[in-house]
Structure formats: structure tokens, C-alpha cells
Amino acid sequence: MEDEMPKTLYVGNLSRDVTEALILQLFSQIGPCKNCKMIMDTAGNDPYCFVEFYEHRHAAAALAAMNGRKIMGKEVKVNWATTPSSQKKDTSNHFHVFVGDLSPEITTEDIKAAFAPFGRISDARVVKDMATGKSKGYGFVSFFNKWDAENAIQQMGGQWLGGRQIRTNWATRKPPAPKSTYETNTKQLSYDEVVTQSSPSNCTVYCGGVTSGLTEQLMRQTFSPFGQIMEIRVFPDKGYSFVRFNSHESAAHAIVSVNGTTIEGHVVKCYWGKETPDMVSPVQQSQLSYPPAYGQWGQWYGGAQLGQYVPNGWQVPTYGVYGQAWNQQGFGQSQSSAPWMGPGYGVQAAQGQNGAVVPPQPGFRVGFET
């Protein structure tokens, strides 16, 4: 019977610029389409859609003709839809498990298979980066029953999946925080806009908002797709980090792509790290520009830590660096009025090993370019 034959196609791996109108325009050339429903996944996975034809023969012809074709530069995947789009499951009342520290090669099918023994799964997915399409190293598994989810968390935490031991916990769904004036006026960042917000010599990205699970490995995994990373500094107790790239352009791409995304279940903010433009006379940079307080944190980014930074880039213990005495690194102490240097101290070029004079090195400060 014709009515029992499938007429709906799944179309996946779409560009985020593809619209329902474009899909209908393309597929209608093969046969009359009844409707198209586009599904935009805010977690970073590729968009997909369902196209329903009036007749099975047209749907079958479209499957043969369109699978593997490129639409806006991406090779689309077309298959028979297993369920109509109108029957998309509502899992808001189900029990969601966060799965972290996933190996890059782990797929949605892998985590679904790993957690299937614990009970009926309503949904599972590995979260991907919208810009690169690569795994972000974490995912979610949803269960129908709370006991099954609890058992999975207890049993799977620390188990090996692929080449890593995974972490499991309850996935948190925080209510939206009251929007500040800054957040209300925030718009989607563009590369052309971001790349001109700081000097071409600035290659440092500030990433804040990861209030738990922040590690150097996590930051490297998140930012390495955008270019060569020269240095990473993390401050887990403060929930932020600095990532220095080898080029200004790589840093700009990272800011655009990572800002506003979810890392370890937290929505993060990325800006340019503040870098002294005059590397020879950092004392001249005595005026700091402060960003507006971000709504849910209610504090200045790094405001309490400004006195911890010196022009070699990172916090330096007063007793030495890498087992050497302070003056062996080429730094000496002098009086300074620069407020970001801390009370009464500055850093200037000093005699290092073998009598060599070592000039101050580039460093970072927290804040915005204005």
C-alpha cells in the first residue's frame, strides 16, 4: 500500500546557513514536497532537517539523487527518517547525565552503547564545536528513570572509554540569570569585528566562566583547533584562564568560535587578554581599563588578581623561577608607581647569567581593549 510506504527523508550534516526554503527549493525539483522541518541544535552539533514528500517514489528518487551531494560546501547525508519530525522526543523531564573527558574519537553511538546496559536511554549525544565539527570532549546521556541515571553515574565514573577515563555527574540546567545591560547589548561576534579590537601583537585570549573542571588539558583541547598554542595558564579557583597563540589571527578565530559556547556545562565568555603594547616600558601602562561586571559573576574579571602579574607574562615567585635565583632570570626590583605591579614594586631589565642584560618580556593584564 502506498500509504504505508515511507515518504519522509532525514537530511543531515547541513551548513548552519542552510534554510528550510533552500531545502524545499532543491528537493522540490525531484517531486512535490509536503513540508520541511529544520532542527537547529544549540549544543553545537550540525543542523539537520526532515523533508516529507507526497509520494514515496519521489522520496526514494530524492534519496538516491541527493545523498552525498554538496549544499553550501558541505556533503549532506540523506536517509529515510526513522521518526517524523513532529514526533521529536521531549526529554526535558528525563534524567540527564554529564559525561566528560571523552577521547576525540568517541561518537554519540559510542557513549550510547556504553551506557545502554544501565537502562532505557531517551537521548545521547557528544557535543561538537560549531566551527570545527570536532568533539568538545564531553556529552550527555538522558535516561527515562532516575535510578538508572544514578546507577550509571556511580558505575561509569572513572571507567575507560576509548583512550581516557571518563567523568560522570548530573547535568546541571541552570535557570537563566538576570540580564545586565552589557548582556542585553551583546551580539554575535564576527571575525572582522574581533580581529580589530586589539593590537596585531596581542595573541592572548581570556576565557572565563569555567567554575568547575578547569584544567590546562581542557583548555588545550578546546583551543588547539584554532592554531598553535604557545602557552596556557589556568586559574581553577577563579574559573578563568589565559591562552596565548602564535598569531593574532588564531586568537581572534578562537574568541569568535568559543565565546558563548558551553565548556564542562558552563557558558563561557572570551575576550582579548590585556597585553602591554610598549614591551620596553610597561610602567607607562599605568591606567587600566575595566570591563563591565558580567551578570552572574558580579565582579571585575581578574580585578583582585591584577597585582600578581609581571612583564615576563605570568606570576613569578619571589624566591626564584625554575630553581634559579631571581636575578638569574634577568630581573631586578625597583620602585614603581604602576598600580598593576602591586604595592611599591616594578620590574626592570637587570643583569642575568654571565653578565647578560635581559630586557623585560611581554606580559598580560586582564581587561578589554578600548
In the chain, what are the domain boundaries? 2-87, 95-170, 181-302, 306-357
With 80 as the cut, is the pLDDT of residue 345 above it? Answer: no
Yes or no: say if 263 and 218 are a contact pair by the CB < 8 Å rule.
Answer: yes
What CATH code is assigned to 95-170?
Answer: 3.30.70.330
With 70 as the cut, is the pLDDT of residue 11 above it? Answer: yes
Which of 198-207, 308-317, 360-369 is least confident? 308-317
Give the chain as a 3 state SS string: CHHHCCCEEEEECCCCCCCHHHHHHHHCCCCCEEEEEEECCCCCCCCEEEEEECCHHHHHHHHHHHCCCEECCEECEEEECCCCHHHCCCCCCCEEEEEECCCCCCCHHHHHHHHHHHCCEEEEEEEECCCCCCEEEEEEEEECCHHHHHHHHHHHCCCEECCEECEEEECCCCCCCCCCHHHHCCCCCCHHHHHCCCCCCCCEEEEECCCCCCCHHHHHHHHHHHCCEEEEEEECCCCEEEEEECCHHHHHHHHHHHCCCEECCEECEEEECEECCCCCCHHHCCCCCCCCCCCCCCCCCCHHHHHHCCCCCCCCCCCCECCECHHHHCEEEECCCCHHHCCCCEEEEEECHHHCEECCCCCEECCCCC
Specify the pLDDT at position 91. Answer: 61
Interval 242-265: pLDDT, tens? 999 999 888 988 898 888 888 877
Options 3.30.1180.10, 3.30.70.330, 3.40.50.20, 3.20.20.10; which CATH number does 181-302 get? 3.30.70.330
| 91 Cβ contact partners less than 8 Å away, ≥ 6 residues apart | 122, 123, 142
Specify the pLDDT at position 40. Answer: 78
With 50 as the cut, is the pLDDT of residue 80 above it? Answer: yes
pTM of the model: 0.31
Average pLDDT over residues 222-238: 87
Yes or no: say if 178 and 295 are a contact pair by the CB < 8 Å rule.
Answer: yes
Q: Rank 31-45, 267-281, 329-343 by mean pLDDT and report only the highest.
A: 31-45
Interval 49-72: pLDDT, tens? 999 999 988 988 898 889 889 999
With 50 as the cut, is the pLDDT of residue 329 above it? Answer: no
Specify the pLDDT at position 133. Answer: 77
**CB neighbours of residue 139 within 10 Å:** 26
Topology of the domain covering 2-87 = Alpha-Beta Plaits (3.30.70)
Specify the pLDDT at position 155. Answer: 93
Judge whether 95-170 and 181-302 match in fold.
Answer: yes
Taking the C-alpha atoms of residue 246 and residue 275, their distance in angstroms, rounded to an integer, is 14
* C-alpha distances out from residue 161 to 106, 121, 168, 222, Å: 8, 18, 12, 19
| 156 Cβ contact partners less than 8 Å away, ≥ 6 residues apart | 99, 114, 115, 118, 166, 168
What type of residue is 153?
Answer: I
Interval 123-166: pLDDT, tens? 888 888 766 778 888 889 999 899 999 999 999 999 999 888 99
Specify the pLDDT at position 60. Answer: 87
